[in-house]
Structure formats: structure tokens, C-alpha cells
A = this chain, B = another copy of it.
Amino acid sequence: MRAEILSIGTELLLGQIVDTNANFLAQQLPPLGLDLFYVSEIGDNLQRLSAAFRQALQRSDVIITSGGLGPTEDDLTREAIADVLGERPQVQPQLERDLREFFQRRGRTMPERNVKQATLIPSASVLPNPVGTAPGWWVEHDGKVIASMPGVPHEMHKMWEEQVQPRLARRISGGAIVSRILKLIGIGESNAEEVVGDLTHSINPTLATYAKSDGIHLRLTAKAATPSEAEALLDTFEPRVRERVAEWLYGTENDTLPMVVGAMLRERGLKLATAESATGGQLASLVTEAPGASDYFVAGYVAYSAEAKQALGVSPEILERHGTVAEATTQALAAAARKRAAADVAVATTGNAGPGASEDKPVGILHVVVDVDGRQVCSETRYSTTRTEYKRRGALDALYLLWRELKREA
């Protein structure tokens, strides 16, 4: 079936925001068996919006929209749908009561213009919005579907997951379509595909790989008459996938690498210190992305200069002999940080984020050392990228090395 996305809002056409909603939705459609052929950004203009809906109804089976459901005169998604279908929006008393209650619970009075968020047309039913004032519309007309959601990303995500995805799955497959995500780190996309091998040819469940900023995601998707039957299919399939990727598998669904590493440290009562030269604070910042990081993260040092490394406890002899960017220096830095912070585990980085190289410091080189109770592992990588991206990927790779060591010692 053909799907089409309409991203609605003049702020998109003025370049004030990037259309991340379309990207989120584009990733959600293939597991449903929907082929996405068109994404359009349209401004808050009734004529152009109506034309976009008219065209979409001609060429696509499923139309998914975000934006234009707010209470102001500029919010015209409902009006455009009503216009194209020749139906009249009418206030729904129950919806209006819900809306007034939403404001009451927050100690506010509903502005009267918000009443338009309580309207429906005969072809539409409501998609509840538990986290905002704009309910969505689910419209069925002549065998086609329009699903309209708010533009605020977290409202849209929730409405997609709880309302639109299950309805589309029922409609398309006559049953349920359920997905699970497995997250890998330390392996590239083509290697990951090689490792899962023949499992990518499985028809139900299916297996797809995605290269993301935090590693490779595998999406396992099963179709069945009911959600629990689909889950049962996944319960059989998932262990087969896990077996192949165990070496790189760090989490599922909403897990993040900082959270997973943090949980391992917390569980074993290990305290962590970081000592960064090349990554300049990005590693500490990544570690502290996990809520509750203060349970195990005792100290982070950013030691950019030779003096700062020395002040932390790296000997002048090592700096003299190896320079500021070297495996031996990184080893000394990790040991010094662990000792200074009275931590059990330390991660250190040295390197050259660029721009500009010197003899022994080629641009893009990164040394990482993980020190667990004095046992050290080292890695050396060359990146060919921007300064910002070097720091981001370097910090992630350093955290990966720490995760691998903690996992190995488990």
C-alpha cells in the first residue's frame, strides 16, 4: 500500500524548524508494509493544504499528517480535510468536556478558541492525546485513511505508538504488527548484516538493520492475528537473532549506552572516573546523560595541556618520552585519574581532534584506555571527520570500550 506524509506548518517553510517528524514516521512505515512515496511540507494556507490533501487522496492509500491541529486561526488541518471531503466540523460535547478538564487539571481556564480542537467530521474519529490539548483525527473515506497528529514531536510519537500504529496494523494486516529493537555497538552496518545473515530473509518476523548515531539498530517485526500472537512469534525469533549478535548487543528499545554502562557500574558498586584530552568533556557529558549518574560517576577531568596531565599525576618522564598524544600517555592518564578520584574504573582519551596536525599527532587519531582496578585495555582509532563529530564519536567509542570490558569481566 502507498503511504504519503504531509508535514504541516509555515515554520517548516521558513526554515525555523527541521522536519524530524517525517523522518520518524518514515522509519515506522516499512514494518507496516507501507511504501512511502511522497513527503511534502505545506504551509498554513487553506487552499494549498486542501490541494495537497486532494492530490494525496488520489495517489496514496494512507495519508499521515503532523501539525496544524492547534487552536489558532493558522491551524488549518481539520478545516482542509473537511473541505476536501465536503463535510462540516461539529463540536463534540464529550470532547469539549475533556478539553475543559485538561485545562482545569492544570489550574487554567480554556480559551474559547480552543473549542475548535473538540470538533469532528462524520468521517473522522478521535485519536486521544493524553499529553496535549490537540486530539488527532482518524479519517476513513472511500477506502483511504487519513491519520492527523499534532506537530509537537513527543505528542506525535505517543499518538503514533498508542493509536495510529495499532490501527494501521489492524487495517493492513487484519491483525497486529509488533516490533522490537535490538541495539548494537562496536560493529558497522554491513558487518551486522553479514552476521545476522539468512535471518534477514525471514518473512515473518522480518529483520531490518538501521545505522544510527548510537550504533546499529535491528528491528524485528512480526505480524499475527493478535498482539500476543505476534509477541509469541518474536519470543521465538528474538533469541536466534540475539545469539548471532551477542558480542555487540547492549540493549533494547529505549536503552541508551550511558544507561546500560551506568547500570553495570551501579550493580557492581564500581566508581568511575574519566580523564579526557581529545574528547574535551564530551565523554563526561555522555556518561552524565544517564539519570542518576552521580551514583557511580565520581569525577571527570578534562586535561587538555601537558601541565594539566602532569597536575593529575602523569609523570613528566612519560610526557617527555611519548608526548601528549600516545598510548603510553593515555595509560598513565587513566591510572592517574583512577588514583586521584579513588575510583575503581577510569577511562582516558588523548588524540587530535583537528584542525591542524603536528608530527606525532595526525589529525583524527584517538587513543582510549580503560583501566579496571589496574588492568588496562587500549584502542587506537583514526577518524576522518569534523572536530565536533570526532568528539562525539570518540566519546561513544570510549564508552563502548568501557562497556566491552565490564561485559567481559561479568
Closest to A39 in B: B41
B299 pairs with A302, CB closer than 8 A: yes
Residue pair A388, B289 in contact (C-beta under 8 Å): yes
Contacts A26-B15, A298-B305, A300-B301: A280 and B291 contacting too (C-beta < 8 A)?
A: no
Number of A residues whose C-beta is below 8 Å from B?
Answer: 67
Contact B38 A41 (CB under 8 A): yes
Is B285's CB under 8 angstroms from A391's CB? Answer: yes
| Structural contact, B294 and A287, CB atoms closer than 8 A | no
Q: How far is the CB of A262 from chain B (nearest CB, A)?
A: 12
Contact between A341 and B311, CB atoms less than 8 A apart: yes
Q: Secondary structure at chain A's binding surface: helix, strand, loop or mixed?
A: mixed
Rounded to whole angstroms, the CA-CA distance of A37 and B17 in the bound complex is 15
- A203: CB under 8 A from chain B? no
Q: Is A94 an interface residue (CB 8 A)?
A: no
Task: Give the contacts of A1-41 with B (CB-CB under 8 A).
Answer: 12-20, 22-30, 36-41
A283 touches B280 (CB 8 A): no
Given contacts A287-B280, A302-B300, A311-B299, contact A39 B13 (CB under 8 A): yes
Contact between B291 and A354 (Cβ–Cβ < 8 Å)? yes
A55 to chain B, nearest CB (A): 8
Distance in angstroms from A67 CB to nearest chain B CB is 13
28 of the cross-chain contacts (CB-CB < 8 Å) are: A13-B39, A15-B26, A16-B210, A38-B48, A40-B40, A274-B281, A276-B281, A280-B285, A280-B287, A280-B300, A281-B284, A281-B285, A281-B288, A281-B300, A282-B285, A285-B391, A288-B302, A288-B304, A288-B391, A289-B387, A293-B304, A294-B304, A297-B302, A299-B303, A300-B300, A300-B303, A301-B301, A311-B340
Among all A-B residue pairs, the 5 with the closest Cβ atoms: A281-B284, A280-B288, A300-B302, A15-B26, A15-B27
